[in-house]
Chains A and B, each alone.
Chain A
Amino acid sequence: MKESVLSAGIDIGTSTTQLVFSRITIENTASMVSVPRMSIVDKEVIYRSDIHFTPLKSRTEIDGDEIRKLIEGEYNKAGIRPSDLQTGAVIITGDTARKENASEVLKNLSDLAGDFVVATAGPSLEGIIAGKGAGADLYSREKGAVVANLDVGGGTTNIAVFRNGEVIDTACLDIGGRLIRFTDSKRNVAYLSDKIKILLSKMNINICEGDILSHADAKRVSAKMACVLEEVIGVKTPSKDLDLLITDCDLRRDYQIDYVTFSGGVADCIEKADRSLDDYTYGDIGILLGHAIADSDLSVKRDVLKSIETIRATVVGAGSHTTDISGSTITVTGSALPIQNIPVLKLTSDDEDLPVEKWGEVIKRKVKWYRLENEQQKLALAFKGRRNISFSQIQVLADSIIYGLENGSEDDSPLIIVVENDLAKALGQTLKVRLDFNRDVICIDTVKVENGDYIDIGRELSESKVVPVIVKTLLFNY
């Protein structure tokens, strides 16, 4: 049994906006005579848009109407209708300032992106998505090594570190090709980011917007940025400049990075040996920054691997690598799906160690506390669950869940349960029976979530009966 899902990835970045369509293939990987185990077996990008400059109304405001036109144009070119899509992610990346009108932009796009959309992501998630798009996670699994992807874009550098296919660390820095922009090829400065202003003054380069930056200074500041990247990766001892340019969190550097990959717009200028292009072709310092990174110790002291995607890493990551699928035996009743942005309330392992008879009180207490803190009433109850649960225990578990989640009022919204271990069908069936079939139940498994995550759950796929799932980890704590 093979089935494919069409997914869209849209990346609205500081400087460029891109779109991809990916086909995600799902196949049963269990033997014919077992309970099916559907897995994602292939992800293929079937359409890549042109790389557009992000239309802006002002320096900090994205032009939602123009974005819409641009995306619509790409849909038409690809011959894909929004209704063809089962899943996807829209990501607004780069300067946080830009994100002020993000929700408005997203609203503008909602009908185009199907009913399955990821909102803005934090820098950690951006870095992870780009790293997956660049293939750093794959490399780390193949080589059994630690691989760091540096997504060097226009406004920021997002770093995600993978070990054996899993993220172990992230960081974000104010390093990018368009933090200094020029109005013309004579290096007339049009824009300087605030952090860069501080950096320049520390380097005794005293210029403002409107001044001319000398070629030598442009090279110096690019080299400085490359130097800070050496520091963050652990090739050089960290300096005050690193502290300055870190935007949210630094890497821990308590592990050894074996390999480095580069993605983002600047990555192409790192890889290309040919330097015939004029240094200021793009009216910014991107090319110089690329050269500075290429000349730095990063590529000497760490093995650099060729990224699968460079400038398109984030959009491919968004299109191909954000969607996961649930386990194959699940319970979905009614027509509540798809649902988006459902906050996850997860029981702790201490909670789970209690006998299931006691779970009802725990859930009730946590839900009450949660509802005091949050406006949104909808939530997904998550727990790991025991693999070897008996039939009688599952009855008790179902009763505890129903008791814990009932809120007194006439609530007929569906129960949303997300379990890590394989028991969602039996649990869902039991919940239905215990609820006298009066309330819809969405009970899925083989999905790992954490407290504070948000989850999107798509419609059941027609053949395989699994649901696409996107887990949005907003916080990345270690």
Chain B
Amino acid sequence: MISEDRIKGIIENVLREMGSGEISTDLRTREATVSDDDIVDFGATDLRKQLLVPNSANEEAYLKLKETTPARLGIWRAGPRYMTQTQLRFRADHASAQDAVFNSVSEEFIKEWGILEVSSKCKDKDEFLTRPDLGRQINDETAEILRKNCVNKPKVQIVIVEGLSSTAIEVNARDTFESLTQGLKGHGIEGGTPFFIRNGRVPSMDSVSEVLQPEVTVALVGERPGLATSESLSCYIAYKASTSIPESARTVVSNIHQMGTPSVEAGAHIADIVVKILEQKTSGIDLK
């Protein structure tokens, strides 16, 4: 490996030979004052367009096939091991996924949105992760809060469920919600009072539905993150949801994020599904 200093030395020599030795000091000062805008975000590289294999047998075909898959391919190697840059990117993506799981949706975010916040029976993140049973339920006090603050028996109840990605909620839930609400309004449907369930799992939508008894429940839930994105949101929709209905009675729209289905587009699509569910009075596998 050629060190950075040696490269600098070579450049200085070349410049000196060209009769402009002054610039060498320029280089140093510029390095010291590099502006934040010039720093490249190493998490922003589009991996599909990046081919690190040197002198590959068929570079064009490689790149073309890479477009067909988000897998980390064409990443080359250091001996048998990973290149430093891809290893760092992998760790960065994993960090982002873990942050999404282990951090909670910030209280400011919910406050700014202006929706009601309640919690599942889990007292913290650790309990949420190890006790899926508790993440499905709400306690009596929470039920009471909902009864007091929310429209009873609305046509459509939208709930935001924290799930396994706080990032998905913070990045994608609100736009999805707004677009969905606009779509429903277009069909003359008013939603109930939206609220957020902290440390909730998907079936918590059933528990709250038993309290408020909407005709249709729409839950926007943070998906368990993969490395490709930690921002993916899922939507579960059920007709007359209750804790006794099977999972197969839920209609699911997953993969809502910038690289999947963009949130506003997903919201508009979900609105149409809700209309269909109201028409057919069923959801999940029975929905045609």
Contact = CB atoms under 8 A, between A and B. Distances in A.
B266 interface: yes
A35 B60 contact: no
B135 interface: no
Contacts of B256: 35
B261 A34 contact: yes
Contact of B186 (A33, A422, A429): A429
B253 A394 contact: no
B261 A426 contact: no
A33 B267 contact: no
Given A31-B254, A144-B58, A422 B182 contact: no
Interface in A153-195: 163-165
Contacts of B260: 34-35
A387 B182 contact: no
Interface in A390-436: 390-392, 394, 421-426, 428-430, 432-433
A428 B258 CA distance: 19
A58 interface: no
A323 interface: no
A300 interface: no
B202 to A, nearest CB: 12
A463 to B, nearest CB: 10
Contacts of A163: 60
Contacts of A33: 234, 252-255
A392 B62 CA distance: 39
B267 A426 contact: yes
Contacts of A387: 258-259, 262
A429 B271 contact: yes
B64 interface: yes
Given A144-B62, A426-B179, A433 B268 contact: no
Contacts of B272: 425
Contacts, number: 92
Contact of B264 (A34, A165, A426): A426
Given A422-B265, A426-B267, A391 B179 contact: yes
Interface centre among B60, B65, B262, B263 (most CB of A within 10 A): B262
A329 interface: yes
Contacts of A165: 64
B165 to A, nearest CB: 16
A388 interface: yes
A378 interface: no
Contacts of B62: 144
Interface bin, chain B = 20 to 34
B61 interface: yes
A147 to B, nearest CB: 12
A164 B61 CA distance: 7
Contacts of A424: 265
B265 A425 contact: yes
A425 to B, nearest CB: 4
Contacts of A388: 258, 262
Nearest to B172: A388
B133 interface: no
Interface string B59-94: 011101100000000000000000000000000000
B172 to A, nearest CB: 10
B262 A34 contact: no
B271 to A, nearest CB: 7
B127 interface: no
A273 interface: no
Given A33-B252, A34-B255, A164-B64, A329 B268 contact: yes
B185 interface: yes
B124 interface: no
Given A165-B64, A387-B262, A391-B175, A425 B185 contact: no
B265 A143 contact: no
Interface in A16-54: 30-35
Given A387-B262, A421-B262, A423-B262, 6 more contacts: A35-B260, A141-B64, A144-B60, A389-B262, A425-B269, A426-B179
5 contacts: A31-B255, A33-B254, A388-B258, A423-B265, A437-B186
A-B interface, 7 closest residue pairs, ranked by CB to CB distance from nearest: A144-B61, A426-B264, A391-B178, A33-B252, A164-B64, A425-B268, A426-B268
Interface of A: 30-35, 141, 143-145, 163-165, 329, 387-392, 394, 421-426, 428-430, 432-433, 437
Interface of B: 58, 60-62, 64-65, 174-175, 178-179, 182-183, 185-186, 234, 252-256, 258-269, 271-272
